[in-house]
Amino acid sequence: MAGPNSLYGPVDPAPDAGYVDAPPRVGFFTDTSVCIGCKACEVACKEWNLIPDDGFNLLGTSYDNTGGLTANSWRHVAFIEQPTAGRGAGTDSPGAFAAMPVGPPASAQTAVVAAGTAPDTGTEPGVPPAVDALAAAGTIAPPATGPQFLGMPLPDLPGRMMDAPRSDFRWLMMSNVCKHCTHAACLDVCPTGSLFRTEFGTVVVQEDICNGCGYCIPACPYGVIDRREGDGRAWKCTMCYDRIGDGLTPACAKACPTESIQFGELDELRARAERRLESLHEQGETSARLYGNSPDDGVGGDGAFFLLLDEPEVYGLPPDPVVCTRDLPAMWKRAGWAALAMAAAVVVSFGRRP
């Protein structure tokens, strides 16, 4: 049932995909303000979905030894050690490390080392300039010489590197997952129909159909979907399609001890998230924000959206993801005009002949 918003803009994806009497759209609301970084979600996901382990690699990125969402890790808990100068944000507290004899933070340096230890991403990570400045000041050992920094996620925003002694500190944790976009680029580019929209509005890969072409991988604006080494096929979160069909909660949400991962009907989750955000703002957590909840964003809203305590970039999330099909109508339109123009030119050029 292709409608005016089938490629871009707010839409209810299951009916749009042709389901008649589709059940309400379901999703995840991941409230990172109560995440304790236990990684029960990662383990429960692997147990239920029989995913292979991802190798035993100490990455040095705080307590994250998973590294990111891959074919073998469909939930990924990110850990961000975030020192700040100045008083505790939004509270009367003087800050965890106020008045402590502390020097410059380690986070920048550890991030540099960590950037060189994550699983190979195909891009070469490097050294942010701020660390060079610290090293030049002689306060920390200069990091091993390496390539230049090209945009790997850092625990802090570019330009926000502190040079004063840390006095406050946050340790942010977030369980990341496939966003199950309203406009899922992976699905739109899949040539085999392996990726499909379920009646619940989620996006699932059918492993027996996927031929490993890999088109979906660059299409995903979040870098979620991935091919499994030695297998070649694309794998990602199914939102436990085999569980929700039976009325069960997805494994990760079921295992989460603090209800950081909440599963339910998307409309209800969105309302719940708004209330939670309001409550956090009242408590002085002014940096709290929702991510992926708006149907008006570049992917038509995420089926799995988040409450974050800082800018999305801090968590390694793109600030303004856009589905690659957004410009498809314009492109076709232009292509159409071009074709017409060509045809006209042909007509004109032949028409001149006597």
Q: Element (H or E) spanning 188, and its range?
A: helix 185-189
Nearer to other proteins, 107 or 194 (CB): 107
* CA 42/CA 73 separation, integer angstroms: 7
7 is a site residue for other proteins (CB under 8 A): no
Q: Which stretch binds other proteins (CB under 8 A): 3-11, 63-71, 286-294, 332-340?
A: 63-71
32 is a site residue for other proteins (CB under 8 A): no
100 is a site residue for other proteins (CB under 8 A): yes
Q: Is 149 exposed, middle or buried (0-12, 13-18, 19+ CB in 10 A)?
A: buried
Nearer to other proteins, 42 or 310 (CB): 42
CB 24 within 8 A of CB 265: yes
Pick from 91, 192, 211, 286: which binds other proteins (CB under 8 A)? 91
- Which 236-295 positions form the footprint of other proteins (CB under 8 A)? 257-259
Nearer to other proteins, 66 or 198 (CB): 66
Q: How many residues bind other proteins (CB under 8 A)?
A: 55
Task: Kindly state the smallest distance separating residue 153's Cβ from other proteins, in Å.
Answer: 17
Q: Which stretch binds other proteins (CB under 8 A): 6-14, 22-30, 109-117, 234-242?
A: 109-117
Q: Which residue has the tokens 């719940």?
A: 272
> In the numeric block, which tokens belong to residue 298?
């570049």
Pick from 15, 38, 89, 328: which binds other proteins (CB under 8 A)? 38
SS3 121: coil
CB 228 within 8 A of CB 72: yes
**Structure letter (DSSP) for residue 135:** H
Task: Kindly state the smallest distance separating residue 19's Cβ from other proteins, in Å.
Answer: 33
310 is a site residue for other proteins (CB under 8 A): no
328 is a site residue for other proteins (CB under 8 A): no
117 is a site residue for other proteins (CB under 8 A): yes
* CA 57/CA 277 separation, integer angstroms: 36
CB 42 within 8 A of CB 66: yes
Q: Which stretch binds other proteins (CB under 8 A): 47-55, 203-211, 216-224, 332-340?
A: 47-55
Q: What is the largest CA-CA distance in the chain?
A: 93
Nearer to other proteins, 66 or 176 (CB): 66
* CA 125/CA 116 separation, integer angstroms: 6
Pick from 6, 30, 70, 110: which binds other proteins (CB under 8 A)? 110
SS3 302: strand
Task: Kindly state the smallest distance separating residue 28's Cβ from other proteins, in Å.
Answer: 18
Beta strands 203-205 and 234-235 are: unpaired
135 is a site residue for other proteins (CB under 8 A): no
Task: Kindly state the smallest distance separating residue 107's Cβ from other proteins, in Å.
Answer: 6
Task: Kindly state the smallest distance separating residue 291's Cβ from other proteins, in Å.
Answer: 19
Give the torsion sign (CA, 340, 341, 342, 346).
Answer: positive
Strand partners, 31: 307
Q: Please, which residues have CB within 8 angstroms of residue 270's CB and are 6 or more apart in sequence? A: 29, 293, 305
Q: Which residue has the tokens 């991403």?
A: 121
Amino acid occupying residue 120: D
56 is a site residue for other proteins (CB under 8 A): yes
Strand partners, 304: 28
Q: Which stretch binds other proteins (CB under 8 A): 170-178, 201-209, 235-243, 286-294?
A: 170-178
Binding residues for other proteins, rule: CB under 8 A, are 34, 36-40, 42-43, 46-47, 53-58, 60, 62-63, 65-66, 81, 83, 91, 93-94, 96-107, 109-110, 113-114, 117, 139-141, 166, 169-173, 257-259
